[in-house]
Structure 1
Amino acid sequence: MKNLSRLLFAMLLILGYGNSNAQDKNNPWQITIGANAVDFFPTGEDAPLGDMFSDFFNVSDHWNILPSLSTISVSKNIGEGFSFGVAGSLNKIENFGDSSVSDLSYYGVDGTIKYNFLQGTTIDPYLGVGGGYTWVDEIGAGTLNGTVGLNIWFNDNIGLTLQTAYKHAFEDYLSTHFQHTAGISIKFGGTDTDGDGIFDKDDACPDVAGIAAFNGCPDTDGDGIEDSKDSCPNEAGTAELNGCPDADGDGVADKDDKCPSVAGLKALSGCPDADGDGVTDGDDKCPTTAGPAANQGCPWPDTDGDGVLDKDDKCPSVKGTVANNGCPEVSEEVQKTLNAYAKTILFDTGKSSIKSQSEKVLGDIIAILKEYPNSKFTVEGHTDSVGSEKLNQDLSDARALSVKEYLTKNGIDEFRLSSKGYGESKPIDSNNTSKGRANNRRVEINLAK
């Protein structure tokens, strides 16, 4: 039996050492300091001891109490509600059951594995099993212990511990007995890597200091939104904008707002549009008058007032008609005037060269053509029947071309003009009289069909 008790004691020491590194990160250590009472009576042993649990609470007759600090224990959480602890105690034995004895010294060292049923609650009951070594009057023996106890926690770290242990002795010279303890317990030793007051076990961000409201995660800008969910973690903002600020209060976060200091529209990235034309005021050349984006927010003008907008008006500075794309239409009266001028153009006899005295009438023709910049004309040459038909055809071609070239050299777009000679084929009068032949020798300028 002596060898068995020594072996048990050695195993308890090894078990305690082997579990010294196993822990729960939240307050894994517990130390209890208090007093103990030893009772040999209710153990079912022979007289002067009683039956098991007999007179269990007879404090005055059976309990041995040392009225001072007489027990200390240290335990460590090893996970899943289990803990391992070592306790030391001392006492003086004056009552051995119903008998009185001279003051005998009592020392005990015990190791216990406990299971706590309600960890994290105020009332925390537990059961334990273990063993130890007890000396009475300096004679020691090993014991097998069964423990029942209760922690009552006043806060996260301090509480009251009440415990009863049944200690069954392996040797005949040490009686089996109960040992009751009561003491103040302190839990400590939790790991808080980031130093924010929240232990790593409960800290969702154990490496970064944070606040309790976010389980240890930070809220750098203090806007009530933790950094991991904050789109602007360094600037205080609103929950509606995921923690981003909105200086102008238009519902567009400053980081996305192209006009952060002026309230605007979400559709325009936070910029205003006073006239509602879809062009931001900063880009709108007419911010108070609606207009298309293609015209920089301004309404299309109609400079000449002809009912055709300048963007569609091929003659924006000259009043025209809608049917002619804003350009003026050549009336019959204008056509007659042109040809009245054209018939007075003089050429050198038998040649295509224009006489200098025709410059004024050509200037009048140019002025009329410029009034109709969108219209195209054909310069037509005609002769009388004097001479060969071929000669007359060639002469009419040359004279028509000569007039066309004069007009283009003096401001008329060449793409608006064409020329053609008709020779003697289209007379307007009789070629039998000098007056008739003079009328047939002519240039006409007609609107191209």
Structure 2
Amino acid sequence: MKNLKVTLFTLVLIIGFSSLKAQDNNNPWAVGFGLNAVDFYPTNPGLMGHGSWFNEFVNVGDHYNIVPAISRVTVGKYIADGFSIEAAGSINTISNIGDNSVSNDSYFSLDGAVKYDLNNMIGETSWFDPYASVGGGYVWMGNFGTGTFNGGLGINFWFNDNVGFNLESKYKHAFESNIVQHFQHSAGLIIKFGGIDTDKDGVYDNEDACPEVYGLVEYNGCPDSDNDGVIDSKDDCPNVAGLASLNGCPDTDGDGITDKDDACPNDKGTKVNKGCPDTDGDGVVDKDDVCPAVAGPEANKGCPWPDTDGDGVFDKDDNCVNVAGTAANKGCPEITADVVAKLEDLFKTVYFDTAKNTFKPETISKLDEAASIMKKYPTAKFAISGHTDSVGNSKSNMKLSEERANAVKNYLVTKGVSSNNLTAKGYGEDMPVASNNTRAGRAENRRVEVKLVN
């Protein structure tokens, strides 16, 4: 009979350990080390030297059998849903059974139990972890042995995620009368281990929503690169802080359109206009509207008046409707220093027939080029001056220079340059630029010049 019970108990333990399925990876293993106390007194009412059930349950001095050393070792593993299994071995020396003294019988026990975490019923308390257990075991005391049915209650007080203090009280019902029913109490340290944290972020894989990516505890182990409260896996803009309502993307102008989809991220607009404002409601968004405060057709770039040359000056105010210019110059182009220099160079190549005001053939192309440039700047005014060397009569030279200056002006007018923009004057031999004592100098002095007046 005894061997049969031992065999059955061993089978229960083997089946229990071999039937484990997928385990909780958050520190599924636990080992315990501590003391145990055996008390026969409050479990055997009617026997000599024993009290009623639970009588003097904590009479440590009179009834507890304790070895002052580590006398109990446990190994356990979490299963699932608050259930775990545990194997425990303990030793003791029995010097009293109730009020009866005995001659220090040895006590050995091997127990197996299924434990249930009561926090699953009362709510998670973190450091306070009560449990109930049920199981069986075998006890050897003196020359006798017996199988037992065990049931108990215990508490783990956790100092941190891995280390705690364990208290347990277990009733052991013996199947053989040579070892009476008794309580076994225990106290000691318990250590949990075996949890897996693949990304080393302090969140175990079973609780880590991103087990292979280093993350933050407050986000269940997932990263939030831009610290906007939206984890990267759900963040459409993981590297730029944004709003949870916009999947982690920013909205600088607060118009409800994310910056990445907003054509005007700094100006509050509408979805219809891709985030851009249209102040005057003319269908042309402000950034493309030359007249953002006045409604106008798209053909006029949002203005009620046309701007034919697109220079930002409306035709009604533009003195050069067909030529792009500047507002400062009333819509006309402003001539640059480079253009003036180009004209001055061209006029240096204007040559006349000897003692006449008629052009040499090679001069015509130069004058044509100068005229085409001047026409581009209809508000620019030029002064044309004629000059001679000192050879001949000064009065004749003055007349010749005047005729040559006017010849240039008249030719330019025939090519479309406004006569209002040109003045012509001769200076004869009065303004030499070189010495008239040399042939080269006299050649330089025979010239026509053009100067920008304004």
Give the TM-score range, shorter chain. 0.5 to 0.7
Query: Secondary structure of 2:227's match?
Result: coil
Q: Give the match for residue 30 of structure 1.
A: 30
Segments of 5+ residues of structure 2 without an aligned counterpart are: 309-313, 316-320, 323-454
- Distance of aligned partners of 1:68 and 1:295 in 2 relative to their CA distance in 1, 3 Å threshold: same
- Distance of aligned partners of 1:87 and 1:263 in 2 relative to their CA distance in 1, 3 Å threshold: same
Q: Give the match for residue 203 of structure 2.
A: 198
The alignment-based identity, stated in percent, is 56
* TM-aligned CA deviation for residue 210 of structure 1: 3.1
- In 2, are the aligned partners of 1:114 and 1:129 still within 8 Å (CA)? yes
CA distance in 1, matches of 2:11, 2:289: 89
- Distance of aligned partners of 1:286 and 1:213 in 2 relative to their CA distance in 1, 3 Å threshold: same
- Distance of aligned partners of 1:134 and 1:110 in 2 relative to their CA distance in 1, 3 Å threshold: same
The alignment's TM-score, normalised by the length of structure 1, stands at 0.58
Q: Give the match for residue 100 of structure 2.
A: 99
- In 2, are the aligned partners of 1:162 and 1:182 still within 8 Å (CA)? yes
CA distance in 2, matches of 1:184, 1:156: 13
* TM-aligned CA deviation for residue 167 of structure 1: 1.8
Q: Give the match for residue 9 of structure 1.
A: 9
Q: Give the match for residue 88 of structure 2.
A: 87
- In 2, are the aligned partners of 1:8 and 1:132 still within 8 Å (CA)? no
Cα deviation 1:287-346 (Å, max 9, x = unaligned): 68653112223333499xxxxx99xxxxx99xxxxxxxxxxxxxxxxxxxxxxxxxxxxx
CA distance in 1, matches of 2:116, 2:245: 48
The alignment's TM-score, normalised by the length of structure 2, stands at 0.58
Segments of 5+ residues of structure 1 without an aligned counterpart are: 304-308, 311-315, 318-449
* TM-aligned CA deviation for residue 38 of structure 1: 0.9
Comparing 111-120 with 195-204, which one deviates more in the overlay?
195-204
CA distance in 2, matches of 1:270, 1:27: 52
Query: Secondary structure of 1:111's match?
Result: strand
Equivalent pairs, count? 306
One-letter identity of the residue aligned with 2:250: P
Q: Give the match for residue 193 of structure 2.
A: 188
- In 1, are the aligned partners of 2:300 and 2:307 still within 8 Å (CA)? no
Q: Give the match for residue 378 of structure 1.
A: none
Comparing 283-292 with 131-140, which one deviates more in the overlay?
283-292
One-letter identity of the residue aligned with 1:35: L
Q: Give the match for residue 215 of structure 2.
A: 210
Query: Secondary structure of 1:268's match?
Result: coil
1:389-428 matches, cutoff 5 A: none
1:226 aligns with 2:227: no
One-letter identity of the residue aligned with 1:69: I
One-letter identity of the residue aligned with 1:179: Q
CA distance in 1, matches of 2:96, 2:213: 59
- In 1, are the aligned partners of 2:300 and 2:306 still within 8 Å (CA)? no
One-letter identity of the residue aligned with 1:104: D
Q: Give the match for residue 58 of structure 2.
A: 57
CA distance in 1, matches of 2:303, 2:160: 73
Q: Which has the larger radius of gyration?
A: 1
- Distance of aligned partners of 1:200 and 1:169 in 2 relative to their CA distance in 1, 3 Å threshold: same
Comparing 214-223 with 108-117, which one deviates more in the overlay?
214-223
* TM-aligned CA deviation for residue 255 of structure 1: 0.9
- In 2, are the aligned partners of 1:93 and 1:105 still within 8 Å (CA)? yes
* TM-aligned CA deviation for residue 180 of structure 1: 0.8
- In 2, are the aligned partners of 1:149 and 1:161 still within 8 Å (CA)? yes
CA distance in 1, matches of 2:88, 2:136: 11
Q: Give the match for residue 296 of structure 1.
A: 301
Q: CA RMSD in A?
A: 3.5
CA distance in 1, matches of 2:166, 2:269: 66
Q: Give the match for residue 368 of structure 2.
A: none
One-letter identity of the residue aligned with 1:198: V
